[in-house]
Each structure stands twice: as structure tokens, then as C-alpha cells.
Amino acid sequence: MLRPNCECCDRDLPPDSLEARICSFECTFCAGCVETRLGGRCPNCGGEFVRRPIRPAAKLVSNPASAVRVLKPHQACVG
Ligand SMILES: [Zn+2]
Ligand SMILES: [Zn+2]
């Protein structure tokens, strides 16, 4: 599921964004939050992040990104 935003700061992360980071559970954050707020660890599961791969534009037609925005008040995000 390609999420449309950062769980921390709610900035848009379109399917072709190079700034999107995901953990193994596909919790989705922007690179800025991962580096400056989260210390490289997912606040949900404690796992590591990798850059979210770009889904080819042709595949987005039949497999569109999710429109459901996830935003959680993580301590690391608020503080
Ligand atoms: Zn963010
Ligand atoms: Zn996670």
C-alpha cells in the first residue's frame, strides 16, 4: 500500500517521491523526519527504514496509491 503522506509531519509523498521512507511494515515517513526526528528507527515497530521504491507510472493506473492519509502523534514527532 503506497501511502500518500508522512505519518509524522503529514507532508505529501507522491508515488514518485525519492523522499519516502518505509519500514518492513510499510509505515511511511519522509526522509527529513527519519533523519532529524526518528533517528533512523520506526516509532511504531523499532525497525529500520529503506527508501520506498518508485512504482512505475504505468503500474499506477491499475495499482493506484492509497488515498488514506495516516497521521499519528508519535512522541518523536511532537517533541
Ligand atoms: Zn515527515
Ligand atoms: Zn514500522
Q: 23-77 pLDDT, tens per residue?
A: 999 999 999 999 999 999 999 999 999 999 999 999 999 999 999 999 998 888 8
Give the three cell numbers for residue 71: 497521521
DSSP one-letter code for 56: P
- pLDDT value at residue 40: 96
Element (H, E) at 78: helix 75-78
Specify the residue for cell string 527504514: 49
Question: What DSSP string runs through 29-66?
Answer: EEHHHHHHTSTTB-TTT--B-EEPPPPPHHHHHHSPPP
Q: How far, in Å, from the CA of 60 to the mean position of ligand 1? A: 23
Instruction: Mark the residues whose beta carbon lies below 5 A from ion ligand 2.
Output: 23, 25, 27, 42, 44-45
Q: How far, in Å, from the CA of 20 to the mean position of ligand 1? A: 9
- pLDDT value at residue 79: 61
Q: How far, in Å, from the CA of 63 to the mean position of ligand 1? A: 24
- pLDDT value at residue 55: 95
Closest CA relative to residue 52, chosen from 42, 61, 62: 42
Q: What is the pTM of this model?
A: 0.92
